[in-house]
Chain A
Amino acid sequence: MSKFGDFGGAYIPETLVPAVEELQQEYARFSQESSFRSELESYLKDYAGRYTPIYHAKNLSKRIGGAQIHLKREDLCHGGAHKINNTLGQALLAKRMGKRRIIAETGAGQHGVATAMACAALGMKAEVYMGSKDVERQRLNVYRMKLLGADVIPVKAGSRTLKDAINDAIRDWITNVNDTYYLLGSAVGPHPYPTMVRDFQSVIGEEILEQMGVPDVAIACVGGGSNAIGTFHPLYNKSTKLIGVEAGGSGLDSGLHSATLSAGRPGILHGMLSYLLQDDTGQVLETHSISAGLDYPGVGPEHSYYKDSGRVTYSVATDSEVADAFTTLCKTEGIIPALESAHALAEAIKVAPTMKASEDIIVTLSGRGDKDMDIIRRYYEQN
């Protein structure tokens, strides 16, 4: 299926059609092959460190009151984020497809790092496009990528963030279509990426079901939306209330945010039809967020479908709510969350008091916050 309701599809330049069709066929073939699945499983277990635990955040739950808050510890994955679930899957696929050159985009740098790791482990070379604004604010991750053997290519066009990195990665793919594999980092882009990335990230939700049964509420942050779709998809047919949290930046009224589903309308960007932050004539708007990983004007098409169907509720957390949630988790549990994941925590802190102590919230803690030290320090210097 290439569509989620009306959303998704493949709005791409003709040059990419053979590459995208090849990817559809090869993914369909290998994802059914038991040797591929067992190789991926063994990498996820021995290399990425899965299962990731679920931690009952008792101190936090007590502090907030109401429901019990549990954390799905994707921050404990190798590399410090859920991104490795997808990069191992796609890098293994690329290798089986005989592709030697891997390109990727990155926002906060977590997908770039996870791509560099997977490629190093599988003996491949990665080139990573990164907006020059993100290169500045995520210098540590740039250095990590280089140490891991990847080339980082700064992108100076447009808003110099994730959106522009994807544009340039697509342009590279058009130019080198015959030998290059584009390892896209979120559940966005033309079909089959949204489905493929969702499948690779669904390990998150599948483990949640296995480890704690059906939770009452599941919360995850949404930029492109890969950790959220990986959390929600396996819970879709369960009774769990699902909440996606977008970056509210300085507030929806300020115009400085990245809340695509809350403030956008359907549009076409990066090969997909999905909600999009755009002006009256379809020009894509610049976004703002304290977290580089959520700084994206589009969103995965399956989320657009979930929003319109009403199955998932999408809310926002502002930068200041996020900073509060971030420090609260540090102080109560000794866990430093990624600023992206702190959006999901901020929502949990709002929702828990409205629930009973016998009820359970699972928050997907998609990454760890070491990369965000400079940003949070500067935030508190200014606020």
Chain B
Amino acid sequence: MSRIDDRFADLRQQNHRALIPYAMAGYPDYDSTLKIVRGMVKGGADIIELGFPFSDPLADGPTIQNAATTSLNIGMTLSKYYSMLDEIRDITDIPIICMTYSNVAYSVGYDRFIYDMQKHGIDGIILPDMSIDESKEYRDISAKYGMDTIFLASPNSTDARCSRIIEVSDGFLYLVAVYGTTGAQMGVQRYAIDALLRIKGMSRDLPVGVGFGIRTGEDIKLYVKNGADALIVGSAILNVVRDAPHDIETSVSRYVDTLKRETTEGA
């Protein structure tokens, strides 16, 4: 049982769903990221997704692209990312997922990358451009270090494809709720609900998280009603940060709290 598995087991007992807010490490700067994370914990986040920037984030819309550029421009590196994780681990044992792109892991070497991530308290990894077909070595090494590999499914993934994704995913399956990049299109699409129902029918014990385009409590309520086990909120958090540069921790905490209220069925 990983820390992510434990968290889902606890939530299930309380009839809660997981709220997973996203921050980009180094956006708007190093210290502010720590404030954002504290705000998330205070606001009731269940798991945190901490992005590591990549120069060419082709699954991301303008908000996360800009955050990545800012982070790289202020000199974010893997060693700074690890120091940041160490500081976060001093204040919380919340499960943390690293999201970045395949080349970051490949470039450092899968073994070195996953070992370091694990050592600094990362519980799971999301690489949006790591197709399951190319993932054998990455998964084998992750298994060696007890790292959860979270894979994505899309509304246009066939049943056969979804079965394979479910088979290789640890922690949870990440359903991409829109045709598009992160944050580019807000709101809940009918096809996303259909995909959620279809995948929930196949996923058995593996929790299903939904992300891309979630902004409001209403969005969350709709996904929860249709069986989502986790809700991932990315670009909307970064927009809150952008709009409240002087009071980041409180703004994030309030926003996360508002969303968290909707993660209990019938709330």
Contact = CB atoms under 8 A, between A and B. Distances in A.
Interface of A: 9-15, 17-18, 157-158, 163-164, 167, 170-171, 174-178, 266-271, 273, 276, 278, 280-284
Contacts of B130: 11
Interface in B81-104: 101-104
The residue among B156, B158, B161 with the most chain A CB atoms within 10 A of its own CB is B156
Nearest to B135: A11
B179 A283 contact: no
A175 B131 contact: no
Contact of B134 (A9, A157, A158): A9
Given A158-B56, A176-B179, A281 B107 contact: yes
A13 B78 contact: no
B222 interface: no
Q: Could you say which of A9, A13, A18, A270 has the most chain B C-beta atoms within 10 Å of its C-beta?
A: A13
A261 B53 CA distance: 25
Contacts of B129: 11-13, 268, 271
A15 B179 contact: yes
Interface in B30-88: 53-56, 58-59, 61, 65, 69, 72, 77-78
B165 interface: yes
B203 interface: no
17 contacts: A11-B131, A13-B128, A17-B157, A158-B56, A158-B69, A175-B184, A176-B179, A177-B179, A178-B156, A267-B103, A281-B77, A281-B104, A282-B104, A282-B106, A283-B54, A283-B104, A284-B55
Nearest to A3: B134
B24 interface: no
B154 A163 contact: no
A164 B62 CA distance: 13
A26 to B, nearest CB: 16
Of B72, B133, B185, which is in contact with the most chain A CB atoms at under 10 Å from its CB?
B133
B102 A11 contact: yes
B180 interface: yes
B176 A15 contact: yes
A291 B56 CA distance: 22
B134 A10 contact: yes
A163 B55 CA distance: 11
B166 interface: no
Contacts of A174: 58-59, 179-181
B193 interface: no
B156 A15 contact: yes
A15 B53 CA distance: 21
B244 interface: no
Nearest to A267: B103
Given A174-B180, A175-B181, A282 B65 contact: no
Given A13-B129, A267-B103, A268-B103, 15 more contacts: A9-B131, A9-B133, A13-B154, A14-B153, A157-B69, A158-B56, A170-B58, A171-B61, A175-B184, A175-B185, A269-B56, A281-B104, A282-B105, A283-B53, A283-B72
A260 B180 CA distance: 30
Q: Is the interface of B mostly helix, strand, loop or mixed?
A: loop
B154 A15 contact: yes
Contacts of B252: none
A273 B129 CA distance: 12
Contacts of B61: 171
Q: Which of A164, A167, A270 has the most CB of B within 10 A?
A: A167
A297 B133 CA distance: 25
Q: Looking at chain B, what size class is its interface with the partner chain?
A: 35 or more
> Most chain-A CB neighbours within 10 Å: which of B55, B72, B152, B181?
B55
A165 to B, nearest CB: 12
Contacts of A283: 53-55, 72, 104
Contacts of B131: 9-12, 14, 17
Nearest to A281: B78
Interface of A is mostly: mixed
A283 B107 CA distance: 9
A14 B154 contact: yes
Given A17-B157, A281-B78, A268 B180 contact: no
A10 B129 CA distance: 9
Interface string B149-182: 0011110111001000100000000001001110
A14 B54 CA distance: 18
B202 interface: no
Nearest to B52: A281
Contact of B107 (A170, A175, A282): A282
B240 interface: no
B197 interface: no
Given A14-B153, A281-B77, A267 B106 contact: yes
Contacts of B133: 9-10
Contacts of A282: 54, 101, 103-108
Contacts of A163: 56
A164 B65 CA distance: 12
Contacts of B165: 14
Contact of A175 (B152, B158, B180): B180
A267 B106 CA distance: 7
A288 to B, nearest CB: 16
Contacts of A157: 65, 69
Contacts of B107: 267, 278, 280-282
A12 B69 CA distance: 21
A178 B181 contact: no
5 residue pairs, one from A and one from B, having the closest CB atoms: A282-B107, A15-B154, A175-B180, A268-B103, A282-B103
A115 B21 CA distance: 42
A176 B156 CA distance: 12
